[in-house]
Amino acid sequence: MPIAKISPSLLSGDFGILAAECKRMVSHGADWLHMDVMDGHFVPNITIGAPVISCLRNHLDAFLDCHMMVSNPEKWVDDFAKAGASLYCFHIEATQDASALIDKIHAAGMKAGVAVKPKTPVSSVMDLGHKMDMCLIMTVEPGFGGQRFMAECMPKVQELRARYPDLDIEVDGGIARENIDAAAEAGANVIVAGTSIFKADDISGTIETFRQVVNTAQAALAKK
């Protein structure tokens, strides 16, 4: 049974004190730290790159979950591996050979994730479940934080979980207390949340609530 992994999105943090924000999230119980890497081409925004990950790695032992919203993701594998990324998650829409890219990521010493945009069918990644370490089902259009959760993406999570009961399945986009149940019951166990964690009155409590909801849902799914 996949266990809950709560991965706060640092896109909602203060980039001026990014290392401190990372440490703050870990102190509140975060399992992973979600790094939104945007190139201004694959998505219409620019955030951080490998040099920032490298600097953060000098201050952190945490699991760095790097979501690569970039064109030509093959180009950056070695840079992010050297920088200390733990997981390199590329978009299925950005590559012509996802299987070869997964092999390249593994050879570089990182876990491999594959992300799927809301309008991309889950069939595009279904045959990769035996190779990828994680699949990210986007619940907003990638590129900006603070968007509305798209519940219509949950059938993709359900279909993927039914076929791969042991796979880490991540959801990212608009996740909050009012919809975490839907995501967890569909089968997601890796939860990315930005605003709902960073702006919470009780960050530790919010992370723990998300974890309990996911673990309860995963236990129920395992019994079916």
DSSP string, 131-173: T-SEEEEESS-TT-SSPPP-GGGHHHHHHHHHH-TTSEEEEES
pLDDT at 159: 97
Catalytic residue ranges? 36, 172
pLDDT at 218: 95
> How many Å apart are CA 109 and CA 107, to the nearest integer?
5
For residue 223, what are the CA distances in angstroms to 4, 89, 103, 120, 165?
Answer: 17, 30, 33, 30, 12
CB 90 within 8 A of CB 101: yes
Binding-site residues for a divalent metal cation: 34, 36, 67, 172
Binding-site residues for substrate: 9, 67, 143-146, 174, 194-195
pLDDT at 148: 87
CB 113 within 8 A of CB 129: no
Contacts of 165 (CB under 8 A, 6+ apart): 1, 2, 221, 222
pLDDT at 224: 79
Host H or E run for residue 55: helix 50-57
- C-alpha count within 13 angstroms, C-beta hemisphere, residue 132: 27
Binding-site residues: 9, 34, 36, 67, 143-146, 172, 174, 194-195
pLDDT at 1: 82
pLDDT at 142: 87
DSSP 5: E
Measured between its terminal Cα atoms, the distance across the chain in Å is 12
pLDDT, averaged in runs of 10, over the chain (224 residues): 96 97 98 97 96 97 98 98 98 98 98 97 97 97 81 97 97 96 97 96 98 96 86
Ordered domains of the chain (ranges, CATH): 5-223 (3.20.20.70)
- C-alpha count within 13 angstroms, C-beta hemisphere, residue 135: 31
> How many Å apart are CA 217 and CA 173, to the nearest integer?
19
